[in-house]
């Protein structure tokens, strides 16, 4: 029997507050969509933005390319929403993000990249983590993509983006998600980048021959002195 998703409360975040930015500036996110019949060059940009949103720029390698999904999108056989789902369920995304994180961190990353916002609270992170554990990764992805929040903000034809990162009343906006939440946590960095040496024997210090004590050196008698037990005169 699968566990139903837990209830969690919303918190006030920037994307939930109406803005007054009538004149969007250069810092506002660029919207990539197929609603206006894009040219071949614009389609290249849309596909690139999809990879960059789901994988982030430093993860886009030849191994992350999905030529079949790209071809289907170019010929209008699938929507952008289907393209995003295909990237989330690809083996490359699983290897680079799911397999190197626990469920809690993976949920936070997916909500940022798919819904374009931070998690509301730890309760939300726990609720979706339980969902992954009980029903699997594909079900979790479907819940995000079919949610009212995703449909209302991105629909079928728009690449997700970080919503309202730039605040008009502030000199600086929110930190981009790829900088705030790197793909790998500290506990997995220890396993991936640093060798773990297991040695059951004793560890001996190496001393070059020219630095070894010679005959008559007091260091040769140090062990002898430490083995002598003091005699009590009292």
* Residue 173: inside a domain: yes
- Residue pLDDT, tens place only, 126-183: 999 999 999 999 999 999 999 999 999 999 999 999 887 665 555 555 666 666 665 5
Pull the structure tokens for residue 180: 């705030």
Residue 207 in domain: no
Q: Is residue 31 part of a domain?
A: yes
Compute the CA torsion angle 6, 7, 10, 16 (nearest 10 deg): 80
In a domain, 183, yes or no: yes
- Six-digit token pair at 107? 């949920």
User: Is residue 79 classed exposed, middle or buried when 0-12, 13-18 and 19+ CB atoms within 10 A define those classes?
Assistant: middle
Residue 213 lies in a domain: no
In a domain, 99, yes or no: yes
**Residue 4 falls inside a structural domain:** no
Bridge partners of residue 158, in order along the sequence: 33
Number of domains the chain is built from: 1
What confidence tier does 217 reach under pLDDT thresholds 50, 70, 90? confident
DSSP, collapsed to helix, strand or coil, labels residue 217 as coil
What CATH number is attached to the domain comprising 165? 1.10.3130.20
pTM equals 0.70
Domain of 125 in residue numbering reads as: 14-192
41 vs 209: which has the higher pLDDT: 41
Residue 225 in domain: no
């Amino acid at each position: 029997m699968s566990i139903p998703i837990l209830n969690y409360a919303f918190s006030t975040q920037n994307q939930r507050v109406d803005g007054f930015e009538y004149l969007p500036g250069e810092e506002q996110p660029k919207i990539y969509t197929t609603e206006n019949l894009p040219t071949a060059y614009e389609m290249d940009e849309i596909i690139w933005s999809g990879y960059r949103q789901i994988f982030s720029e430093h993860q886009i390698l030849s191994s992350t390319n999905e030529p079949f999904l790209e071809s289907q999108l170019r010929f209008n056989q699938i929507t952008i929403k289907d393209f995003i789902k295909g990237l989330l369920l690809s083996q490359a995304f699983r290897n680079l993000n799911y397999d190197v994180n626990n469920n809690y961190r993976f949920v936070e990353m997916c909500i940022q990249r798919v819904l374009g916002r931070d998690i509301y609270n730890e309760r939300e992170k726990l609720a979706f983590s339980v969902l992954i554990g009980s029903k699997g990764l594909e079900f979790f992805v479907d819940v995000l993509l079919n949610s009212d929040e995703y449909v209302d903000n991105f629909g079928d034809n728009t690449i997700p983006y970080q919503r309202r990162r730039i605040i008009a009343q502030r000199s600086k906006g929110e930190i981009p998600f790829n900088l705030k939440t790197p793909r790998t946590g500290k506990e997995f960095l220890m396993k991936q980048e640093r060798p773990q040496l297991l040695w059951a024997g004793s560890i001996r210090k190496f001393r070059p021959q020219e630095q070894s004590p010679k005959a008559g050196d007091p260091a040769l008698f140090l062990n002898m002195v430490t083995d002598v037990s003091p005699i009590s005169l009292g």
